[in-house]
Structure 1
Amino acid sequence: MKQVTMKGYKVSDAKRNRTVGVACQTLDELRVKGSCKLNIEKNVQIQMLDGTYVDDEDYFQTLPSQTVFLLLKPGESAYTGADILYNALQAVNLDFLRAGNEVQKFFTQNVKEKVQNLAKLVNRSSQIQNVTLSRKLDDPAWFEGIESRASTKEEFMARRSQERIRGYMYKTQDDVKKSETYRNDKMCQKKLTEAFQKMNLQLKAHKYFNGYFDRSAMSDRLCDDVGGFQCRGRWDLPHCKYKGANQHMINPYESREARIVFSTWNFDHVVERSRSIVPALLEAAKLASNNSCAINAIYFYRLLFTTDNLKLVHIICHDKGTHSVQCNSREFTLTARKVDSCSTGEEIPKCFTEPQVSVML
């Protein structure tokens, strides 16, 4: 049995009114002690400052001491620094940055450091020489401010990729569990639970797509050999429209500043997670219950976690407006033939490799 040790962490609430220290060994102990110290109910979700939900004991044990966690009551959400900056950019003309209220809030703390970080990114000549360096020992400046056990840039970026994917799973499960369908219909609840179990098995088999941001990965990676990423373009465009001097490219492996700015790049779901995929999952549960079959977990898995439906985009190209694309209702449930031919514990079956989304004009 794996031995766990007592470590010290910090917890705060959604509004970050106060932060307190907690010493614990397990995730449940953190939840109980943290809720008690913050004087809030124990039915909370645990989130990191970068928006990553923590709901897995094994993952929790990999996090270092002094990690800051936000304890969120049901229905609460907390904004990360990247969220605040994104909201400000979306509120203005997409071609220009004009400081709005949220940007002003973003820059109320550590103003000098943040301005310097963004300014340094403009002049990359002195950073390029460090892009090939990998180990923490060789480029310690790149790792400044990171609370991580990662000893290489690739290891750190792989974990950031996993955290994004874990976040989509936790948020989707949370949204589904809040629905009336899940709470009031036991058969639908059973079908949804089975589907999530299959998706979790698949995610573990694919190591939560740790290769997306890892330049050393043999598959799945979205960057070139040296770690350069290019914006895939707004959800309704075949490629990024920004070219020339304004093209959306970044290499987070170059410098600490580039790594920080890369955190504002987003995965955009072409078929939207909250507006389309979650409602479709609930509808699939009803169909599966009425027809005594299973939810097509692999179909929803592809939409939620794979590049069949995910586009890595610059913050300017991340359009949070309503997307005119919907799930394909013909793929909601599995027929007996599909159940026999598909195994969620292995690679994604060939019969599901083609995108099955329908564009609604």
Structure 2
Amino acid sequence: MLNYFKDVMAPTTRSSKAEADNKDGGICTKVALSENCSENSLPPPQMKGYKITDNERTKKYGIGANSLQMLKEKAILKFPIKDLKLYLSTDGFEISDDDYFQTLAAQTLFIVAGPDEIITTDADFEFEKLRKNSPLLRVADIIYEFIEHNPEQFRKMITDYENRKICHKQALDRNQQPYDNKTQFSLRTEHSEWFEGQEERCHSKEEAMARRAQDRMRSYYYKTKEELTRNKLYRQNLKARHIIDAVLEQFRYLLIGCDYFSTLFNRKCPKKHSIVQQHHDDETDASAMLPNKRLRQVIKEYTARHQILDEWSVSLCTELGDFYCQGSYSDNGNCCALKHTINPYASRENLILFQVWNLDHQIELSRSILPALIDNVRMLVEQPQKKCTLHNKRVIDISVLEYFLEIFSLKNLKLVHIVCHEKTQRANKSNGRLVCAQCHEYKIVQELMGVRENEEDVDVAS
């Protein structure tokens, strides 16, 4: 498994104090004197300032402490929680060892919570806050609530809209006019009403649509994380917990490597999905996405160099921004019998309607993929001598890359109009399995995770 959780050696026991009386007139032997002097000269741990908060971030306190026990004793006065535990806010890791605690920097933020509480990390908290404060995401919540309570009325509204759009397009075609005089505009200054309610940092439609694709991938990640960490196996088995935590970290790095599949909704991505090629064969070149921070860029360069996710890092729309429904789960191939299309680049109305176009998991996430992943983790914990089906070697991990592709990539996702999103239970099963050290996908993921360690070594050296 990944070397995320480094074992901290217990402090060595020192020899007892040497006898004062010896043949040298009461002077300690050289070894005993050295140890006693070292022991007496050790200063007490330095007091440092730390921050603590609860899982809901309702209050935050600054606390000075020189040991883990002192910090816990002061924390429980602020948050009277039974069997209080301290977790790092960055990744939810529990701090239970004082030697490790001493390595943490001052002003580190800890979350105080009970032993069975699901920790909301900083990233989780910020995403949830963004979801609540985003006008478009709030609109999406309203739309989904309306759909849930008025399914037939919503279907009729969508059908009427599609019919009006078809008639409008036919009229434009007859007059030989462009699809929409603002569809091809990209910048905020060119089509300001399209950006109403958008984040200020999005200066182009392509940036905004790329972020929407990333947000959908993040929602799958948080859903996956929530279901895995709430599972009984995760709560009760420490080894299983470490395996699942490592899997989630590997998922996160793979998502960074492909920029959270930001290309899916970006019309300027030159690589197009096959469904787009079926409709248009004259796609042109386009600019690439800007890089993020240094480590993210290193990971992206690695995944690009080894072509790990190239097959699935494509765009689902034409150069103009037209998306085509791939049809319901029961349809053969990628054909939609109702010929649903939409161009969210054309207008704000279309952009909002695009929120209810779904990326449909053909192998279902909650019913098939995640239960299979948990079963394989359980098998890895309970049957460590089990053999890999391909190489007949002892298994050491689960097939992280296969599960990743099933959860996040177009290998298992189809873009469908909401009318074509079938909710019926499906018979297909996850292809995830247990892997050994000789399995190709195990080597790929381990090499990818080694990128962070190499980068950290470079930072330390510099």
TM normalised by structure 1 equals: 0.66
Structure number with greater Rg is 2
Distance 1:123 1:165, change over 3 A: same
Match of 1:239 in 2: 334
- Matches for 1:129-208 after TM superposition, within 5 Å: 129-208=181-260
Distance 1:86 1:311, change over 3 A: farther
Match of 1:307 in 2: 410
**d(CA) in 2 for partners of 1:65, 1:265:** 20
Match of 1:334 among 428, 435, 457: 435
User: Percent of counterpart pairs with the same letter?
Assistant: 28
Once the two structures are TM-superposed, the CA of residue 339 in structure 1 deviates from its matched residue by 5.8
CA deviation map 1:112-133 (0-9, x unaligned): xxx99x9899856697111100
Once the two structures are TM-superposed, the CA of residue 45 in structure 1 deviates from its matched residue by 8.5
Q: Quick one: which amino acid aligns to residue 142 of structure 1? A: W
Q: Does 1:344 align with 2:445?
A: yes
Once the two structures are TM-superposed, the CA of residue 236 in structure 1 deviates from its matched residue by 2.6
In structure 1, list runs of 5 or more residues that go unmatched. 1-27, 36-40, 47-52, 71-78, 100-114, 348-361
Once the two structures are TM-superposed, the CA of residue 218 in structure 1 deviates from its matched residue by 3.1
CA contact (8 A) 2:436 2:442 kept: no
**d(CA) in 2 for partners of 1:69, 1:31:** 24
Match of 2:145 in 1: 84
Match of 2:419 among 287, 302, 316: 316
Q: Does 1:97 align with 2:156?
A: yes
Q: Aligned to 1:282, what secondary structure does the other structure show?
A: helix
Q: Aligned to 1:277, what secondary structure does the other structure show?
A: helix
Choose between structure 1 and 2: higher helix proportion: 2
In structure 2, list runs of 5 or more residues that go unmatched. 1-52, 61-111, 173-177, 272-313, 385-394, 449-462
Q: Aligned to 2:218, what secondary structure does the other structure show?
A: helix
Match of 2:400 in 1: 297
Match of 2:295 in 1: none
Paired positions, count? 278
Once the two structures are TM-superposed, the CA of residue 285 in structure 1 deviates from its matched residue by 0.4
**d(CA) in 1 for partners of 2:185, 2:157:** 36
Q: Aligned to 2:124, what secondary structure does the other structure show?
A: coil
**d(CA) in 2 for partners of 1:340, 1:305:** 16
Once the two structures are TM-superposed, the CA of residue 180 in structure 1 deviates from its matched residue by 0.7
Q: Does 1:32 align with 2:91?
A: no
Quick one: higher RCO (CA 8 Å, sep 6+), 1 or 2?
Answer: 1
Match of 1:55 in 2: 124
Once the two structures are TM-superposed, the CA of residue 80 in structure 1 deviates from its matched residue by 1.1
CA deviation map 1:59-96 (0-9, x unaligned): 799x69965799xxxxxxxx81232244356x4499x5
Once the two structures are TM-superposed, the CA of residue 196 in structure 1 deviates from its matched residue by 1.3
CA contact (8 A) 1:202 1:346 kept: no
CA contact (8 A) 2:136 2:197 kept: no
Match of 1:353 in 2: none
CA deviation map 1:307-354 (0-9, x unaligned): 0000010010111221221113xx32112211686322778xxxxxxx
CA RMSD of aligned residues (A): 4.0
